[in-house]
């Protein structure tokens, strides 16, 4: 039987998340619940919890954090509690997402310098029109990634990745559509991302450089 989240030490977290089947699913769900509990307080400084986007933002950040943690399990060195390590990853992902979208009225850099809460910008994100050259570059990147996804992923992986990563559908809704559950989709997306990363590297394309096109 898997341990409850408050009984796991670092070694147990690693063992459970590296396992298969119900043992891994239980650990992923426990970690998901931890993230939903701790991320709101950590990120509400930059996006007010009164925002209509806040709940979705926290859920999306938690999902991306889980995928990142599963990708990087072998990099955890045990210098802190496992959940502290996960927490830092989650906060960095959340802030990175907000920086990419950029606030329309006030930059995050100014907020981090100690601006007061009443100076918090509105919920509207900046909508900077890219140049024709950037638009073409983005179009080419999207075409290449979609081609690789079709060639490299299974039909099920492709459907899920398109729905979640491209169309932005909530994971719970996608799970219902494909007759699965959220935890199973975490593993499916983890495997799909690994296959895409390996294919991109074989083609000499850097995932980081591709993402930079959209900044």
- Kindly tell me if the per-residue pLDDT of 164 is higher than 90: no
CA distance 103 to 154: 38
Q: What is the pLDDT of residue 36?
A: 93
Q: What is the pLDDT of residue 143?
A: 78
Phi, psi of 103 (to 5 degrees): -80, 150
Q: What is the pLDDT of residue 4?
A: 47
Lowest mean pLDDT among 116-120, 126-130, 144-148, 177-181: 116-120
Q: How confident is the model at residue 211 (pLDDT cuts 50, 70, 90)?
A: low
Q: What is the pLDDT of residue 154?
A: 92
Please indicate whether residue 140 or residue 116 has the higher confidence score (pLDDT). Answer: 140
The candidate with the shortest Cα–Cα distance to 132, out of 140, 124, 144, is 140
Please indicate whether residue 77 or residue 168 has the higher confidence score (pLDDT). Answer: 77
- Kindly tell me if the per-residue pLDDT of 213 is higher than 60: no
- Kindly tell me if the per-residue pLDDT of 119 is higher than 60: no
3-state helix, strand, coil in the chain (%, to 5): 70, 0, 30
Beta bridge partners of 103: 125
Beta bridge partners of 125: 103
Overall pTM > 0.75:
no
CA distance 10 to 100: 32
Residue 107 has, within 13 A of its CA and on its CB side, a CA count of: 3
CA distance 83 to 90: 10
**pLDDT, tens digit (0-9, with 9 covering 90-100), for 15-58:** 999 998 889 989 999 999 999 999 999 898 888 888 888 888 89
CA distance 98 to 165: 17
Using only C-alpha atoms, the chain has a radius of gyration, in whole angstroms, of: 19
What the chain holds in terms of domains, given with CATH numbers, is: 5-119 (1.10.1740.10), 132-212 (1.10.10)
- Calculate what percentage of the chain has a pLDDT beyond 70: 75
């Amino acid at each position: 039987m898997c341990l409850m989240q408050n009984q796991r030490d670092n070694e147990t977290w690693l063992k459970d998340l590296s396992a298969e089947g119900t043992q891994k699913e239980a650990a992923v769900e426990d970690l998901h619940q931890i993230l939903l509990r701790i991320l709101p307080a950590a990120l509400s400084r930059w996006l007010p919890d009164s925002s209509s986007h806040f709940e979705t933002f926290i859920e999306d950040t938690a999902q991306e954090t889980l995928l990142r943690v599963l990708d990087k399990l072998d990099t955890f060195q045990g210098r802190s509690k496992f959940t502290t390590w996960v927490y830092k990853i989650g906060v960095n992902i959340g802030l990175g997402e907000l920086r990419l979208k950029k606030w329309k009225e006030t930059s995050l850099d100014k907020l981090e310098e100690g601006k007061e809460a009443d100076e918090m910008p509105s919920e509207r994100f900046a909508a900077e029109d890219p140049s024709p050259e950037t638009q073409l570059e983005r179009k080419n990147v999207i075409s290449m990634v979609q081609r690789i996804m079709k060639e490299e992923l299974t039909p099920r992986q492709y459907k899920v990745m398109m729905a979640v990563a491209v169309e932005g559908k909530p994971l719970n809704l996608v799970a219902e559509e494909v007759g699965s559950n959220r935890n199973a989709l975490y593993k499916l997306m983890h495997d799909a991302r690994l296959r895409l990363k390996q294919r991109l590297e074989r083609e000499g394309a850097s995932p980081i450089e591709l993402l930079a096109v959209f900044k």
